[in-house]
Copies of this chain bind each other. A is one copy, B any other.
Amino acid sequence: MSKIQLEKFQTPNRRLMGAGPSNIYPEVSEALSRHEIGHLDPLFVKMMDEVKSMLRYMFQTKNEFAIAVSAPGSAGMEACFVNLVEPGDKVIVCVNGLFGGRMVENVERVGGTAVVIQDEWGTPVSIDKLEVALEENSDTKIVAFVHAETSTGVRSDAETIAKIAKEHDCLVIADTVTSLAGIPVMTDEWGLDGVYSGSQKCLSSVAGLSPLTFSDKAIEKITNRKSKIQSWFLDQTLVLDYWTGEGKRSYHHTAPINSVYALHESLRLVSNEGLENSWKRHKDAHIRLKKGLEDLNFKFVVEEEYRLPQMNSIYVPDNIDELAVRMELLNDFNLEIGAGLGKLSGKIWRIGLMGYNAREDSVDYCLDALKSVLNK
C-alpha cells in the first residue's frame, strides 16, 4: 500500500455559536499543550482530585462520586443508564426533543422497560403527565429527563420533576449537557441521582469528556445490582478505583491526559468567576441577542419562560434558504450557527451563547453578520 502524503491541516478562526462545541477559552487552548505526564503519575492523580472538587462545585453537590467520563456526553448518558438500570427495571423517560429520544434508546438497550412521556418539541416536560405516569406505573424505579434540550432550547423544571419522582421513591437521571454552568444545576438541593454533562458547551472546554456525578443512593443501587453491568468501559464500579481509590489508584483505562488538562483549566476559570456570575453572563448575553433578533423579526421556538439563555432557537422565515444562509455565515463571516435537528431540521436555527461566547462581543458579531447576509 503506497504512502499518503498530506499537508498540515489548517483551520480558520471560527466563532462557534451553534449548539456546541463552543469556542474554548484561550487559557484552555494553552492548557491543552502542557507537557504530557502519565495517567498514573502522582501529579496527574492530584489533578484528578482537583477536577473532582471543581466538578462537585459545578454540580452543586457533596457527592463523593464526581468524575469525567473519558468520552463525549452521549457516553456520559450511557454511563448513567448502563450503571443505574438493571434488566427489567421500569424507567419513565420524559421526551421533548432529540436527546430524550436517545434516553429511550439507552433504556431499551440495557434491557429496561421505558415508559415514554411525550411532549411537543420546544415545550418543557409536562409535570402533569409525569404525575399521571407515576401513578399508573407504581413500580417505576427511575425517572429520566433532559434539563436543557439542546435540540430545541427549552428548559424543563428539574426541581419539580425530581421532587415528584422522589415522592414515588424513584431515582432521577438528569441530562445537563447544555445547562451546566449556563443556568443553575442544583444536584443536592433538587435531589438528582445521576447527572451528566458535556465539556464543550457552557464550560467551553474541548469536546470529548463527560462530567458525571452519582448520589450515594445511586452508588448504593449500583453496588447492589444483581446483574453485571453490560459495559466494561462504562462500568463505574471499575472506574471508581481509578478516580477515587484510596491510596493506590488502580489502572482502568488510559485517561485522555490533554483533554483533562483542558477540563481542569475550564473548570478553574468558571470556578474563579463563580457560578452565579457565569449564569448572569449567559442571561445578559441572551437578553442582548433576544433584543437584536426581535428587531430582525425573528420568532423564538420556545416560550419566554422556558427559554435557555445559552441556546436560542428561532424559526427560519419561509422565504429564506436556511442552508444557504448558514453556509454564507460560515464561509464569509467564519460564524457557525446551528441547524435544526430531527423534526425541526430545515425549520429552525439554533444560536448558542455558551461559555466563552456568552458575551456582548459575540452577540453583536452574530447579529451584524446575520443582518449583512439577510439584507443582501
Contact = CB atoms under 8 A, between A and B. Distances in A.
A198 B253 CA distance: 11
Contact of A231 (B207, B231, B259, B261): B231
Contacts of A39: 21, 207
Contacts of A258: 32, 206-208, 258-259, 262
B336 A6 contact: no
Contacts of A253: 72-75
Nearest to A56: B1
A38 B9 CA distance: 15
Interface residues of A, number: 89
A41 B326 CA distance: 11
B20 A254 contact: yes
Contacts of A54: 4, 6
A368 interface: no
A315 interface: no
A256 B37 contact: no
A375 interface: no
Given A70-B208, A109-B231, A35 B13 contact: yes
Q: Which has the most chain B C-beta neighbours within 10 Å: A23, A71, A74? A: A71
A288 interface: no
In the complex, the count of this chain's copies comes to 2
Residues of A contacting B: mostly: loop
A143 to B, nearest CB: 19
A233 interface: yes
A198 B254 contact: yes
A251 B73 CA distance: 13
B11 A271 contact: no
A207 B23 CA distance: 22
Contacts of A271: 3-6
Contacts of A230: 109-110, 230-231
A262 B257 CA distance: 13
Nearest to A76: B233
B208 A208 contact: yes
Given A74-B252, A106-B232, A109-B232, 18 more contacts: A4-B53, A6-B50, A11-B37, A11-B43, A14-B41, A21-B254, A23-B36, A24-B36, A32-B32, A32-B258, A72-B253, A72-B256, A74-B232, A75-B233, A78-B232, A208-B256, A208-B259, A251-B341
